Amino acid sequence: MADQGGRGGAAAVLCLGVVSLAAGLGSAGPARAAWPPSEGRGACKVEKTSNVPATMRDGVVLRADVYRPATDQKVPVILMRTQYGKDAAQVQPSRFQTPDWYASHCYIVVVQDIRGQGASNGIFYEYAHDRDDGYDTVEWAARLPGSNGRVGMYGSSYVGATQWLASTAAPPSLKAIVPSNTASDYYQGWTYEDGAFRLAFIEPWMDETIARTAAINRQDGASEAALTEATHQMARWMGFTPYDRVPVFGPDDPARAPYFFDALKHPTDDAYWRAFSIERRWDKVAVPVLAFDGWYDAFLDGALRNFNGVQAHGATAEARTDQRIVIGPWEHIGWGRPDSVVSPRLHDLGEVADSPVNELTLMWFDHFLKGEDNGVATGPRVDYFVMGESRWHRAAAWPVPGTVSETWRLASDGHAASVMGDGRLEGPGTPAPGAVAAGQASDAYVYDPANPVPSLGGHSCCSWTSGPQGQFDQSGLEQRADILVYSSAVLTQPLEVVGPITVVLYARSTAPDTDFTAKLVDVFPDGRAINLANGIQRASYRQSLTQPTPIVPGQVYRYEIHVWPTANLFKAGHRLRLEISSSDYPQFDPNPNTGATLATTTRTVKATQTILHDASHPSALILPVLPADRAGEAEDHPPRR
């Protein structure tokens, strides 16, 4: 067991130092009402009953707070199943309205602690019980006194997972769900991303929330104390290797965080993960879905996969048709709003960037649970915010109809390392590369796992103040010699990029396994380099997430890096930029370049990485471009229906 805190701590300090500078540059913006606002309540008075028991099929008792409207009419039920505390109900920071606000619109609202959390009995293990417990709770809620038998579910993150898992069990009383910021799979895009371990999400999240609160639930004071203390030292613990011996999670204590160690034991998409997968059960989903997500959220890619997957495979015509997703300039828990925890550049967008989650959720439930013809758009529909333009658009499908694929080739005179080099992005219409002597059309850098490139923004979880997410100026990082920087000429016309992005990379490495990262950047006339989207590809997972294979050192391979989707208007006078490197720490675990991972080893070696971009190796950035005449009508406010 070895504590590599020096490596992890140094990288984290550098990252947080740049973030702090960015925070200092943010303006306060106009004052707005504190959260939650008092307006918009319904006509029904509400009474709350705490710790109402529900018995699951195996005899375990779960407890919920039930908010009842004062009405003689039978009404639908809105259900939240949470591991984050039913008393909190995900109201803060600036997220959902209070349960009694929803109940005032004449709904029974049930907020339940899931198994092994809060006031509920049983042993917590993430994902494992939420399909069956979700089914049983929906049917129990449908039979509560005063219920009309129709149930909807709402909530964010893991609380979105409890909805999707329940929906794949197809409880007959479930009629609609509204999941926010949640994924389609708990291997790809949750715990791992194209082979890389999502370190900066998994370790802090499990420590601060689920493992700690589960310890409180089972009255394990020693584990609670250790996990609480660790929340103040996560930069250190993320630098501890090997991960399977990290002390805070109790590697020799089977009760403290078994799911953390099981995740490390299953680095491929195997039967362990398939047992929880939503994607493999889209054909069981029989309900309309209104989803919310953000361009910098940890689970954006999965949310879009769910949107398309249920349209294609849903169990009913209604489910296949009534799919809607709203995507804003948000992070995981940063949804705009004056006191929302969101990175400074996104915070300063103002009211146009506020999430309409509560208003649209209520309308969705009024339509699908009460049968009201209220004009809410049901789907298929995508409402999306275009950064750079700061306006909202809508489309009937994803990717947005009308987008065209543009190829921007990587080019240089062999010196693309750092922003001071000569890396170029050559767009459509530029001459194709001519015949080049062998070895000249390439760029090289040394990747040292002991000195990884720090994460600065990106798509992670859960708050920009404690993890790498959001939108920041990358220009300081781009001075590193282990980042290749390819920039376009100054744009003479605006360029709107909307959709998923691919980087095709022809590369060789001196290692038997390594990583390649890609980041799309919007370069402003004053030199600010603002990150839009990023991706990573572990070399051994280049062909399969289930059967990784090593690479042969020195051999050239073709990689496709899946850069997560974005929507951005590159204005005239700006430039496109692509950064290529081999690490993004602590968003992802550094690849030790040995063929093993830091989950089980402390040994690292340096690797020399070579990127080729000659006529025989056309490395390129492939962008989804939306022509101006196909962008459609734009609005200067979030969707209202």
Residue 75: both structure tokens together: 């009404």
Residue 578 contacts residue 486 (beta carbons within 8 Å): yes
Query: H/E element holding 199?
Result: helix 199-205
The answer to whether 157 is a known catalytic residue is yes
The contacts of residue 315 (CB under 8 Å, 6+ apart) are 170, 283, 284, 285, 286
Closest CA to 509 of 605, 617, 603: 605
- Which residue in the list 94, 104, 147, 157 is annotated as catalytic? 157
H helix runs in 26-157, sequence order = 99-103, 130-142
How far is 113 from 61, CA to CA, in rounded Å?
10
Q: How far is CA 160 from CA 177, 293, 336, 468, 564, in A?
A: 9, 11, 19, 22, 20
SS3 20: helix
What is 512-547 written as a DSSP string? SS-EEEEEEEEE-TTS-EEEEEEEEEEGGGSS-SSS
Residue 344 contacts residue 22 (beta carbons within 8 Å): yes
CA dihedral for 334, 340, 343, 347, sign (positive or negative): positive
- Which residue in the list 130, 297, 482, 513 is annotated as catalytic? 297
Beta-carbon count within 10 A of 404 CB: 11
Pairing of strands 75-82, 108-113: parallel
Q: Which DSSP category does 439 fall into?
A: T
How far is 507 from 410, CA to CA, in rounded Å?
12
The contacts of residue 447 (CB under 8 Å, 6+ apart) are 482, 514, 515, 581, 582, 583, 593, 606, 607, 608, 609
The answer to whether 297 is a known catalytic residue is yes
The contacts of residue 488 (CB under 8 Å, 6+ apart) are 408, 424, 425, 426, 427, 575, 576, 577
The answer to whether 332 is a known catalytic residue is yes
Q: How far is CA 339 from CA 29, 40, 86, 342, 463, in A?
A: 11, 19, 22, 9, 13
SS3 605: coil
How far is 366 from 582, CA to CA, in rounded Å?
49
Residue 606 phi, psi dihedral angles, 5° rounding: -75, 155
The contacts of residue 594 (CB under 8 Å, 6+ apart) are 511, 512, 513, 601, 603, 604, 605
How far is 350 from 390, CA to CA, in rounded Å?
10
Locus of tokens 């195997």: 270
- Which residue in the list 167, 269, 301, 332 is annotated as catalytic? 332
Beta bridge pairs of residue 75: 147
Residue 599 contacts residue 589 (beta carbons within 8 Å): yes
- As annotated, the active-site residues are 157, 297, 332
